[in-house]
Amino acid sequence: MMAFDANMVLYIIEIVIGGLLVGVGVHFVPVGGAPAAMAQATGVGTGTVQLAAGSGLTGLLSAGLMMSVTDNIALIVISGAVGAMIMMDATMIVGNWVYIYGVGVPPCSAKVDYDPITKEPQPPYISPGTVGHGIPTVSYVSGTIGGLLGGAGGSLIYYALMSINQNPGLSGFFAIGIFVVNAVIASYNIQGTIEGFHDPKFKRVPRAVQACLVASLIIGIFAVLITGGA
């Protein structure tokens, strides 16, 4: 049991911020769920928590390696963010390859008439009976941002926990646990599918912020009191 001192408050704040980054980042990742796997909806054809967890934890690996050689919080968190972004981007590029060359559909979205970033019209390219398919530019950029936030959040939680108990295995696992709790709460908020920041569902972010804030705070208070074992 660690003595409660001023540093503890800092670590709890770091865990809460990390949890918030994860929760908000999940809203940026373009996920179409089961319909997207059949080219019926825009986005990556998988589940929200699965893709967010996959990319965030890849970022955690990069952050873990960085933290074993340095102590600079900016370096560690950004390194985790970059690792997650690379995984997310590689996945989405190959996803687009399969959509374009394997299924034969151009990327387009049905939630907006004009792509917010490229200003190109969307409805002429949508297959009849679907609500878009593939990963258009706005969803791709949104996914990159989602990877950045998720990776940064997971790395920040890992950094805070390592500073307390200096045990990489324990901190790594706790970071995974806290990451998953925040990601699942956020995925309940978007109810399974979202196309990115242009999706009307994106306006629900404040609710997720409140819920993740409270959940991370409670978990953070318990997590900082756990020692690394001696």
Partner 1 sequence: MDMVSMGLLAAMGALATVAGASEDLESDVGSQSNPNSQVQLAAQVGHPHRIYNKAISGEPPSNALYAALAAVTASVLMSGYGMNAFFAIAIGAVVAAIFNGIYSTTAYLGRNTSQARFNQYVYLDVLRTHTTTIMAHAYITAFCVVTISYIMTAPWLPIQHPFPMPLVAFIWGLAIGAIGSSTGDVHYGAEREFQAYPFGAGLNAANSGDIVTKAEAGLRSSIDNAWFCARFGGPATGMAFGLTVFLDNWRTTIFDPATQGWLAIATGIVIVILFNIYNRILEIRAKKRYGPYPEYVGDIEA
Partner 2 sequence: MSVAAGGGEAKIDKTKLMMYGLGGGVLGIYLTHVLNTITGSGYFSFLAGLGVIAAVVMGSDAVRRVCAYGIGTGVPSIGLMAMGMGLVAAMFGLSIGGVAGPIIGIAIAMGFGYFVGLLANRIIKMNIPVMEETLMTLGGAGAIVLIGLSVVVSGEISYPLIISSVVDTGYIAILFIAGTLAILHPFNANLGPDETQDRTLVHTISTGALAMFAAGLASLATIGGAGFLTVIIAVIIWIKAFMWYFQLVKRDSSGVVGTGLLPEGGL
Which positions from 181 through 220 interact with partner 1, judged by CB under 8 A? none
Binds partner 2 by CB under 8 A, chosen from 39, 174, 194, 196: 174
The full length of the chain comes to 230
Is there a contact between 46 and 19 (Cβ–Cβ < 8 Å)? Answer: no
Distance CA 73, CA 97 (A): 36
Note whether 55 binds partner 1 by CB under 8 A. yes
Site string for partner 1, 134-153 (x = CB under 8 A): xxxx--xx--x---------
Q: Which of 109, 158, 162, 156 is nearest to 137 (CA)?
A: 109
In the region spanning residues 65 to 104, those forming contacts with partner 2, defined by CB under 8 A, are none
Stretch of residues binding partner 2 (CB under 8 A), selected from 65-73, 80-88, 115-123, 184-192: 184-192
- Residue 109 and residue 137: Cα distance in Å, rounded? 10
Helix (H) / strand (E) element for 109: namely strand 108-109
Q: Which residues bind partner 2 (CB under 8 A)?
A: 1, 34, 47-50, 53, 167, 169-170, 173-174, 176-181, 184-185, 187-189, 191-192, 207-208, 210-211, 214-215, 218-219, 222-223, 225-230
